[in-house]
Each structure stands twice: as structure tokens, then as C-alpha cells.
Amino acid sequence: MIFFNTFVFLMNFLILPSNRDSSSFRVQQSEQFKTGDKLTSERDTIFINFSYFDWEDFFIDNRYTPFAIGYKDCGCTPENIVVLKKTKQPFTGVVILTEDRDEIKDYLLEKHEYLKGLRHGEWVEFGFDDSKSFYKRGIAHFKNGDLHGEAKQYLKDNDGTLLLSNFSNYEIGYKKGEFKNYFDGKLTLEGKILKSKDKSNCEDWQSAGFHPLEDKFGNLLLTHYIIYDGFVRKYGFNEMVVIYEELWEAEKLMYVKEWVEAENCDSTRLLYRTMEVGNSISDKRVTFLDFQPEEYNCISYLTKKESYLNGNADGSYIVYFDPIVQTLREKGIYKNGKKVGVWEDYIEGVLKSKTEYLDGEKDGSEELYNEDGKLFRKIRYKKGKVVEINH
């Protein structure tokens, strides 16, 4: 391991700020860089020990003022390029961040690469395990300030085994390509991104995740920020079984399915909810099918069916009172979020009323039935108001 213990030798590798006492600065090259990490050149590499110096001691923004934002946001856009304080020129080279921690000199924190003031190349964050050795805890790649290529995060288990936590892919700042998340070394999420609507920020790779659509309903489907390709699947923590699934084809979401655990059944999962999407490019119809799992007989029963068009309820609407024997509770049709046509209401499967609707208001006849299912009253409505009652 190479040590920089004297100020004279250090000056060949380090540009020191003029307003600090150089004798207070201690730095030594980490074992991590002894092999496998090629630095650009001696003068291009700056070591900053945060126990004694700040980012602003070495760098300023392109307005020649100290950064108002944290260093983790530097070098991401032309508005916040990294400028070397001494030369007032956009910085090209490598920055290595350390600190003195728990009697460890120059505890390795991060390594950054820059080109003309913008992130370009590897961005590495380090971890430190029980054996007192550094490892790459997070690795991302940048091109002219944008995330570009593969990004990965790792963790070490109690045995010291390095485990992949998640990885994702980017193309000139946009999420694109395969992504996977892991928990204790087991796959919990996987999919493939076809395109993204917005660019990702510099730190997006550190919080890679996925938000299911089944709890967001119609509007997000029309202005979806990420278009997937093929299957997106979430898995249970205990075993490799699917608990959530989306299918995308030709930039359209075809369906969503969700499963719940069935401990008393031979099958490991029972279908809980599905969401089907119309195939037509102009048809944004979404049909939700709710299933109620019955673990006693290990069968999932349909409890509700509803459809959406352009974010509004549109189409058939059915709710079952008893999903096992499929007795109805309510049945009707929506158009643009409003009730239309004939709606039927039931109690324990017995018809209680049959009502005509127009643009969300009662309009036409309404028939009321007794407990025996026999008609006992007819009412006529016009734009929601009673105009006639027949006893």
C-alpha cells in the first residue's frame, strides 16, 4: 500500500486549498486502489478527507461561488458543473472522498469521475465490512452528466458474502432495460423498461423500485411515466412465487394480477385481483376483477367487476353478494363515469329494484320489489325528479 505521509510528496498528487494549514491534512491511498482501479493521472486525482476539508475547499460551481447544493448533486447538468477552485476551470479527473473514522485513517467513502465538470465514468460508493476491508457498495455509470449504462447496489450478509441488492439500466439519463431487486440474495422484483417519459436525476439509481398500478387506477395509465416491455413480476420473500404480475405488449398494459398467500392449501398462492386492458390503441378501457380467496376450499371467487375508460368508470359494473354461489348485489352500466341504462339492486340475491338512468340521474321507470321478489310499486322519474307514482 502506498502512503503519502509527507507534505512534499503529497503535493505531487493533491491540489491543496490556500486557506488551510496543510499540516492538518492526512491522506493515504486506500488498499482498494492498489489493484483494479486505474486513475487517470497524478494531477487529475484529488483526495478529500472530510474530517479536515470540505468539498467547497476544492470546488466551486460555474458561477465561481460555493455550491448551494450538496456535492451529490454536482456535475449533473450544465447549470451545476464542477469547477476547480484553483484554476476556475471545469474539472476533469477523479475525486476520492475519505474521512477518519473509529481510528481508521482515510475511511474510504466514494470515488467520482468527471469530464469537463460533468459526471462521466464511474461513481462508486464504498462499504466497510467486519473484516475491515472495503468493498464497492454501489456502482453507477455516467455520460456527460447523465446516468448511462448499468447501476448496481450491494450489501454483505452476516457471513461476509457480497449480495446484489438491485440493479437497473439507463440510456442518456432515461431508465431503459432490465431491472431487478433482491432481498437477502433472493429475487423480489424483475422487469424490463422500454421507455421513460422523464429523465432520472443523478441519485435515482440509489432508490431503484417499482410502484404497482393496481392501486392507482385509470388516469396513470394514460400518462404513464414508464412503459414496460413484457412481464413485470414481484415475488414473495420466502420462496420464488409470483405475488404480483403485469404484462405489457406494444407499449400497452394488458393486465395486472395479484395473488395472496394461502397457508392451508396445497397451492402457494390464490388469485386476488386482476386488471384487464383493452387491446385497441384508442381504447383505454380497464376492467378490474376482484377475487375473494377462500382458503378452506382453496378457490378464489369473483366478487366484483368494473371497467374504466380514460380514467372514468365506463362499461359493465357487477358486484356479487355471495361470490361462492355468484348471487348478485348490484348490476349496471357506466358511461363516462355516470350511471346509464338499467341498474339492478339485490339483497341476498333477491331483486329489490330495477331503475333506469340517464347521465347519472334517474330517468324513466323504477320498479321496487318485496322480499318475495314480487313487484309492489312503480315510479317514473325525469332528470332525477319523481313525476309519477303507481301504487
Domain ranges of the chain: 1-144, 211-336, 341-391
Task: Show the low-confidence residues of the chain (pLDDT under 70).
Answer: 1-43, 63-70, 130-132, 207-224, 237-240, 261-264, 266-269, 277-287, 294-296, 310-311
Whole-number pLDDT of residue 37? 35
Distance (Å, whole) CA 85 – CA 40: 20
**In b/e form, how buried is each residue of 329-340, taking b as 16+ CB within 10 angstroms?**
bebbbbbeeebb
Among 71, 147, 137, residue whose Cα is nearest residue 108: 137
SS3 272: strand
Q: pTM score, two decimals?
A: 0.67
Among 25, 67, 65, 64, residue whose Cα is nearest residue 48: 25
Whole-number pLDDT of residue 311? 66
Whole-number pLDDT of residue 220? 39
Among 209, 159, 162, 203, residue whose Cα is nearest residue 188: 209
Query: Which cell goes with 269?
Result: 398462492
Whole-number pLDDT of residue 207? 67
H or E segment to which residue 221 belongs = helix 218-222
Give the number of residues written for the chain. Answer: 391
Whole-number pLDDT of residue 38? 37
CB atoms within 10 A of CB 48: 23
Whole-number pLDDT of residue 114? 93
Whole-number pLDDT of residue 20? 34
